[in-house]
Amino acid sequence: MAVKDSLTYEDVPVEILDRQVRRLRNKEVASVKVLWRSQSVEGATWEAEAAMKAKYPHLFPSDSIPA
């Protein structure tokens, strides 16, 4: 967690714990369960996979999670 000049902080993701694809009407939405540095495993959250890949590509080894 890094404190910024505006006294806000950005929590840093540590690991992707799980992945799911949900069907919503006529499209599929991929989500990943993210373990954050300041949280326990119970505090992990589901986030949009595309957004997490864009912001934190290092969490997605190219051979382990297909796009």
| Residue whose token pair is 């690991």 | 15
Q: Is the pLDDT of residue 52 over 90?
A: yes
Q: Is the pLDDT of residue 67 over 70?
A: no
Task: List the domain range (segments joined by +) for residue 52.
Answer: 13-59
The pLDDT of 31-37, averaged and rounded, is 96
More confident: 43 or 65: 43
- pTM for this predicted structure: 0.73
Does residue 54 lie within any of the structural domains? Answer: yes
Secondary structure of residue 39 in the 3-state scheme = coil
Does residue 5 lie within any of the structural domains? Answer: no
Give the count of domains, the chain. Answer: 1
Does residue 21 lie within any of the structural domains? Answer: yes
- Count of C-beta atoms within a 10 Å radius of residue 44: 19
Contacts of 30 (CB under 8 A, 6+ apart): 19, 20, 21, 48, 49, 50
CA-nearest of 9, 15, 64 to 44 is 15
Q: Is the pLDDT of residue 32 over 80?
A: yes
Domain of 32: which CATH number?
A: 2.40.50
Distance between CA atoms of residues 10 and 61, nearest Å: 23
